[in-house]
């Protein structure tokens, strides 16, 4: 499906969203220290990839807070949040919220999630930004959960994502 909605308005998304059972596509992002981080840097641990439009929206902020809280005790899981926001915005948000032990990474430089994960919205009020998605990878980075939220202003299905993670 390459059509989503934003407040009920139809929008299109570029590319193909990866599916459960596939090997996770590569990505290269910029972390909060302005260094590159790639999928390969996370191998050997489960990874929860949270992709969203912008940290400066209420739903995106809630998504970060919720996953951070629910996964805080899981030492074998890497929690990675990514959008096109600059690393400085992530630093500001995490400092204000007391969020630690997560990876925030911006795709402002290479747009590798747009190219490899099918999350870039083509049109609509947020055209050019990323749609909301949650992708969970096992230790070998095979996709074990994939959700691109149909209505961009809705939160992801936390229960379904956490159930898959708990059973893996």
Task: Tell me which residues are annotated as active site.
Answer: 60
Strands across the sheet with 46-51, in order?
A: 36-38, 28-31, 103-106, 77-83, 46-51, 133-137, 143-148
Structure tokens at 166: 């708990």
Per-residue 3-state assignment (H helix, E strand, C coil) for 96-152: HHCCCCCEEEECCCCCHHHHHHCCEECCCCCCCCECCEEEEECCCCEEEEEEECCEC
Structure tokens at 18: 């990866």
CB 107 within 8 A of CB 114: yes
- CA dihedral sign, ordered 142, 148, 154, 157: negative
CB 67 within 8 A of CB 132: no
How far does CA 5 lie from the centroid of its chain?
18
């Amino acid at each position: 499906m390459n059509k989503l909605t934003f407040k009920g308005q139809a929008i299109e998304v570029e590319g193909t969203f990866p599916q459960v059972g596939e090997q996770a596509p590569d990505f290269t992002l910029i972390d909060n220290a302005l260094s590159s981080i790639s999928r390969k840097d996370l191998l050997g641990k489960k990874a929860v990839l949270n992709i969203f439009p912008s940290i400066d929206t209420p739903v995106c902020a809630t998504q970060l807070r919720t996953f951070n809280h629910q996964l805080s005790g899981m030492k074998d899981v890497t929690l990675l949040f990514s959008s096109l926001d600059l690393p400085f915005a992530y630093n500001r948000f995490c400092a204000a919220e007391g969020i630690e032990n997560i990876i925030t990474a911006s795709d402002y430089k290479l747009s590798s999630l747009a190219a490899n994960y099918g999350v870039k919205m083509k049109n609509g009020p947020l055209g050019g930004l990323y749609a909301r998605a949650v992708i969970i990878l096992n230790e070998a980075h095979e996709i074990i959960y994939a959700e691109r939220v149909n209505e961009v202003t809705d939160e992801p299905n936390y229960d379904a994502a956490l159930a898959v993670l708990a059973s893996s």
